[in-house]
Structure 1
Amino acid sequence: MVMSSFFKLTLILIITSTPTSYGETAITTATCTAIHQQNSPISKCNYVKTNTGCIPKGYINYLQIFYCNFSQFPQLGFIFLLLWLVVLFYILSNTASEYFCPAVEHLSKTLNLSPAIAGTTLLPLGNGSTDVFSSIIAFTTSTDGGDIGLNSILGGAIFVSTVVVGVLSLLITYRRRIVIVDKPNFIRDVVFLLFTLSNLLIIIIIGKITFWSSLFFVSTYIIYILLVSYMHFNTMKKHKTVIDVADEDDQIQSTRVPLLGSVVDEENVIHPSEKPVHFEEQVVPDDPKRWIVTFFYVINMPIYIPRRLTIPVITKEKWSKPFLVMSVALAPLMVALIWNTQYGKLGLKSSMVIYFVVGSIGIALGTCTFAFTSSTAPPQKCLVLWYALGFLMSVTWTYLTADELVSLLESLGNIIGMSPSIIGLTILAWGNSIGDLTSNVAMAVYGGAHGTQIAMSGCYAGPLFNVLIGLGFSFVFVSWSNYPASYVIPEDPNLCETIGFLIVGLLWALVILPKRDMRLDYTLGGGLLVIYFCFLFIKLARALGLLGASCSNLID
């Protein structure tokens, strides 16, 4: 799933709007690689300003900053871009840990969802919504779009199921925590994903899909959700029985609840309510440390304020009525601004009308919030709406930052001189999954036992959501437009190779975890990372012309 960003949608819109012949990669028709053929700094600056391939996918034109503003000091410009890269990574990870993870946790508790349910619903919805839209747009706007949509979804799925799960396992083991993943839920998610990938592989080998077949493909997700719900309610009944028996003994021992998993510290176990408070004893730092703390505080304010003013937070620790009123009022305006600048491209009059309407809605919401909330305590009613709004805005900030981060990474690739194929296989593939990586890792690291279970469920439910819903609805739309004829799947001999590596990674986890008593450890994480690096090595070797087509004979 991995979970993708707004960048995918923008990139696909650019690719599919450019007329190209079949077999030609649209990415190469508008690149900025010829910048290194320019001789002088002035010619490079003019090339960046005039070539459409150098137009940034984000809001900042990094190539223009490097080749125009820092043309006389390229080393300084490169350092500046690297520092901004660090800032974007910090914003992304901090947004996930401070806003996204608490929103998911509070929303799941308010809705009385187990970690398994939250991991199979909220997390995939937040991480995979843009993947679904981008896949549908790719399939319905161009003859080459199906190839783009398939590779986009499958590339994200293999990254999440190998790299993200691998990193989770290594981090949990490094922090000396024993995490026991729920076995029934894990096997259910992996088996459904294996079944879905097998069906997709059959569709690719056949080379076409009918309208009724596409409906069956999508309906698999409905069956999956029904099974998740059944297992949830069945386990809750058993859990209630265990609690009743424990109450009779007047002593509840620490037992492993299947849906929640468990976390045991090797040294000691600390109850959340008994966590030591470190800020009670405040040591006044000496002058150098005080200056450093002040410096970082000032640097962090431009990063903290915009998010605080647009992401509603109603927790007791961060309660502030002025911030809540401002965030409720500004959140709709921010969404409208992003949509208009990235996708809408409306005229001045239409934009002004939209901003006026959205601004009026924001003012009305802010006024109601000011009138019906207390200054001393967060609201206690309509919590689902508050947490849902915080969840949506944290997702918006996550993908907005990931969009800018991918734009910067692509610009750095052009500056270094990497070919477009290598950029697509490395920088863009990783950048598209940064949101999934940060959100899942943050849930596992900062969310305790529940957070780890949510993250693990999301690592497999996310790709399942993207494949069944993203590709499924894409198949439904294109097959319906061709009805009663079938939709012909774009020929790409490398697709079955990607699916093959996906299946290998899933089988590795399916074998290793039960043998390790469902504990996340170095064996699981290291093996998954090795599988991904082997996949990446083969892709890079093929992009460099060292290997031929992977499974063209199978498709033929």
Structure 2
Amino acid sequence: MASLRQLHKCRRNAAATAAFLLTLLSVAVARDHHPGVGRTSEAELRAPAPAPAQAGRSCEAQLRALPDHAARCRYLSWASHPACAPRGYVHYLRLFYCAFGGAPWLGAAALALWLLLLFYLLGDTASQYFCAALQGLSAALRLPPAIAGVTLLSLGNGAPDVLSSVVAFAAADADAGDVGLSSVLGGALFVSTVVAGVVAIVASSSGTRGGPVEIERAGFVRDVCFLLVALCYLLAVLLTGSVTVWAAASFLSLYAAYVLLVWTSHCCAEDGTTKPAVDDVAAAGPDPDLAAPLLAEDPDEPPALPISSKHAEAAAPPRRGRSSLARRALHALQWPLYLPRRLTIPDIAAHRWSKRYAVASALLAPLLLAAISSPSSPAAALSGAVAGTVLAAAAARGTSSSSPPAGRCRRLPWLAGGFLMSVLWSYMLARELVALLVSIGLIAGVRASVLGATVLAWGNSLGDLVADVAMAMHGGRGGAQTAVSGCYAGPAFNTVVGLGLSLTLAAGARFPRPYAIPADASAYQAAGFLAAGLVWAIVVLPARGMRLDKVLGVGLLLIYLGFLGVRLGSLSLGAANGS
């Protein structure tokens, strides 16, 4: 119960922080439409337009050639330079140079706060809706735990990374493609070095009383070797500079081979032909904190989640309570973050079930899908309205106010709809996140790939750090085993599926011509240090009897510090050369 109260408090504080960030962003956006401090004056906007863009010059070069923020604002208001066009739903360059022309520090703060809010929304959408739908689907489809763990649950954990990569490669410019490539490699490097290193140090400290913590050898070697093979394949593709749709599809198919390998190992273990390498883990018995099953075993019941009424309150802004006026106002500010997703994502989790929201999501989900897929098509809007009306009528007639739909056949359509709409929301948020990072790179004069390998990778991987370290500290030896497995199986999924799917879609759009891969030094550096971390782990851990200790952890942390040192050195050298 103590851990549950801490989780409730953590989520409540996160929601409060997000509401505060949303308020600040609303003020920032309002400055673009109303006079205020720091806004570019009307006289400056009416000044003659700057010279037209020169062909072949990047947006950053065009903006750097202009003398001040007012000139850049006029250029962005008049010019139609493709590289300066907004990549998302907000024109961040115009917002920064026009709304905050006289106070750039305030504009930088607003963009940084909006970046944090997008990270929060992307992670919250994945945890609240996407993972719940995937767990329900895996139970309804009766997938074995081994297969569900490397398919649906890996997809749920890696959704932000995968969708960020897909969105980046779907863009038409090289900057966004750099972000997608660098973010996946940077995230894999961060998780396999920083997260794995901290887990090893924490496990060695917490396991001293009960003896050293040992890791199962076969699964560890399998995951690390697969990630090394995938990394070598990716480096070969990067060195060629381009990829065909067939080469990209073959890279993506590597994960099918990995799933087959896991399935074979699972079958052999069930037949008794494979003996676990760590016998004392089973002898210790299940840890009470980890006793809940990973997936619900009954396909007719919702996933077994440790959620109480207090946790349910954290999932939605409470309506009333014995709170102060300030807290009530804060809860009211949370509704813009909660309500749009709640009204458009079908959700049949028992602790969040509401027939009114279910009917509303059945009505509005097709409309949102039509608006995103074909924003300027009246026929698509009409089709979405008709489909939404029919689905809402069916939901109103076929659901109960007291409990969510029961039975495999009745739950599957709702779970599929929740999966589809949570993917759509995650896609929209990831698209906006990549667009914001590219704009920040143009404003700050930093390559977008550098931001992808650091800021985007950190934001998408902080959840892994918190969850895996907590599991290693409080989950016993089984928790440490699970945490270490996640440090390598997760990056393997994100690298192969995230980049494989992105490259396949990008190459397919240019078929039969190959797709030119937008890679710079940061991608090669991240790949090199990732390979160094994997080699260090697969050499040190078996040499020390598969025991987690500080030698492994400190070495992995030093490898990541070396990567940061190289990146900072490259940035300093680039600044000195004027690039």
TM-score range, shorter chain: 0.5 to 0.7
Corresponding residue for residue 368 of structure 1:
394
Corresponding residue for residue 430 of structure 2:
402
The answer to whether the Cα contact below 8 Å between 1:100 and 1:391 also exists between their aligned partners in 2 is yes
Deviations 1:186-227 (A, max 9, x none): 322321222233344456667888998777656544332321
The answer to whether the Cα contact below 8 Å between 1:62 and 1:408 also exists between their aligned partners in 2 is yes
Aligned ranges 1:258-407 → 2 under 5 Å? 264=287, 279=310, 290-340=324-374, 348=376, 351-381=377-407, 382=409, 383-407=411-435
Check if 1:501 corresponds to 2:525: no
Once residues 499 and 77 of structure 1 are traced to their aligned partners in structure 2, the CA distance between those partners, rounded to angstroms, is 34
The answer to whether the Cα contact below 8 Å between 1:96 and 1:394 also exists between their aligned partners in 2 is yes
The answer to whether the Cα contact below 8 Å between 1:425 and 1:539 also exists between their aligned partners in 2 is no
- Which structure carries more relative contact order (alpha carbon 8 Å, separation 6+)? 1
Deviations 1:513-552 (A, max 9, x none): 55677687876666445434433443454455469xxxxx
1:309 CA displacement:
0.8
Deviations 1:369-397 (A, max 9, x none): 22211111111233344333323322332
* Equivalences, count: 482
Once residues 457 and 342 of structure 2 are traced to their aligned partners in structure 1, the CA distance between those partners, rounded to angstroms, is 25
Distance 1:194 1:303, change over 3 A: same
- Among 49, 62, 66, which residue is 2:77 paired with? 49
The answer to whether the Cα contact below 8 Å between 2:166 and 2:499 also exists between their aligned partners in 1 is no
Once residues 238 and 201 of structure 1 are traced to their aligned partners in structure 2, the CA distance between those partners, rounded to angstroms, is 38
- Among 214, 219, 232, which residue is 1:198 paired with? 232
Aligned ranges 1:402-421 → 2 under 5 Å? 402-415=430-443, 418-419=444-445
Once residues 351 and 322 of structure 2 are traced to their aligned partners in structure 1, the CA distance between those partners, rounded to angstroms, is 29
Once residues 229 and 135 of structure 1 are traced to their aligned partners in structure 2, the CA distance between those partners, rounded to angstroms, is 32
- Tell me, which stretches of 5 or more residues in structure 1 are unaligned? 1-19, 243-253, 342-347, 548-556
The answer to whether the Cα contact below 8 Å between 1:399 and 1:435 also exists between their aligned partners in 2 is no
Corresponding residue for residue 554 of structure 1:
none
Aligned ranges 1:204-223 → 2 under 5 Å? 219-223=253-257
Once residues 490 and 65 of structure 1 are traced to their aligned partners in structure 2, the CA distance between those partners, rounded to angstroms, is 27
The answer to whether the Cα contact below 8 Å between 2:122 and 2:430 also exists between their aligned partners in 1 is yes
The answer to whether the Cα contact below 8 Å between 2:194 and 2:560 also exists between their aligned partners in 1 is no
Deviations 1:293-313 (A, max 9, x none): 223211111111011111221
Deviations 1:302-339 (A, max 9, x none): 11101111122111111111111212322232233233
Q: Secondary structure at the match of 1:48?
A: helix
Corresponding residue for residue 100 of structure 1:
130
Corresponding residue for residue 160 of structure 1:
187
Once residues 502 and 333 of structure 1 are traced to their aligned partners in structure 2, the CA distance between those partners, rounded to angstroms, is 43
Check if 1:30 corresponds to 2:50: no
Check if 1:463 corresponds to 2:529: no
TM-score, scaled relative to structure 2: 0.66
Once residues 359 and 101 of structure 2 are traced to their aligned partners in structure 1, the CA distance between those partners, rounded to angstroms, is 45
Q: Secondary structure at the match of 2:403?
A: coil
Once residues 114 and 523 of structure 2 are traced to their aligned partners in structure 1, the CA distance between those partners, rounded to angstroms, is 35
- Among 246, 249, 258, which residue is 1:224 paired with? 258
Once residues 340 and 70 of structure 1 are traced to their aligned partners in structure 2, the CA distance between those partners, rounded to angstroms, is 33
- Among 91, 97, 101, which residue is 1:67 paired with? 97
Identity value in percent: 32
Deviations 1:238-288 (A, max 9, x none): 59x99xxxxxxxxxxx98579xx99858xx8886999796959x9xxxx99
Distance 1:496 1:32, change over 3 A: closer
The answer to whether the Cα contact below 8 Å between 1:58 and 1:407 also exists between their aligned partners in 2 is yes
Once residues 274 and 121 of structure 1 are traced to their aligned partners in structure 2, the CA distance between those partners, rounded to angstroms, is 20
Corresponding residue for residue 38 of structure 2:
none
Corresponding residue for residue 248 of structure 1:
none
